[in-house]
A = this chain, B = another copy of it.
Amino acid sequence: MKNNPFDDVDGTQAEILKATYQALFNHGYSELTIKRIGDQFDKSPSLIYHHYDDKDALVLACLEYLLESFESELIDDSIENPRERLEESIFWSVDPTFDAEAERFFTMMLELRARSTHDAAYRTYFERNDRIMHAYFVDVIQEGIETGVFREVDPDAVAETLLTLIVGAVHRRSSVESELSLDKLQVEVQMYLNRRLYKCT
């Protein structure tokens, strides 16, 4: 979370996306302007307009890049410990030790998902995001069932529930932080996995 995910990429377009991500992260979507993206960019801001029409084109290109990196990581990987894999994919969302920087990331996610309600490009993006996450959870759960460490659940139903918990947790963190007992939520999500999914806990 500490590093800009575009730190290791090269080329003008990648540098533009890096600047976009940084500006989005620092100011949030509603305060994001091309000027602020330009402030994070070492070259002439006019190059930004040469490559992208407006701030949404920049934000969506950033999101697409992140999702593609995430997806290719998943494909390369074999699932050796389904329980560990599942937990590391869930518990970041309810981890109470996360810092202010992570909170800004959560805020960004709520603002951007809200754009799906009236912008088809964001909707398409979040549909793809949720489809990829769902498929990943299903793979891990199926692996757990096949290797005998998980109970015979419906992987789709458990995947939907986990994804819904993650979205709810991220969105509540960024809207009602002071009212949220993350430590209790974390314990209870663990209880759900123990009671519903894991054999012999």
Contact = CB atoms under 8 A, between A and B. Distances in A.
Interface string A119-131: 0000100110111
Listed residue (A114, A130, A164) with the most chain B CB atoms within 10 angstroms of its CB: A164
A167 interface: yes
B118 A174 contact: no
Contacts of A157: 181, 184-185, 187-188, 191
A161 B174 contact: no
Interface in A124-148: 126-127, 129-131, 134
Which range contains the number of A residues in contact with the other chain? Answer: 35 or more
A107 B118 CA distance: 9
A156 B184 contact: yes
A110 B114 contact: yes
Contacts of A158: 188
A127 B169 CA distance: 14
Nearest to A156: B184
Interface of A: 28, 30-31, 107, 110-111, 113-114, 116-118, 123, 126-127, 129-131, 134, 154, 156-158, 160-161, 163-169, 171-172, 174-176, 178-181, 184-185, 187-189, 191-192, 195-196
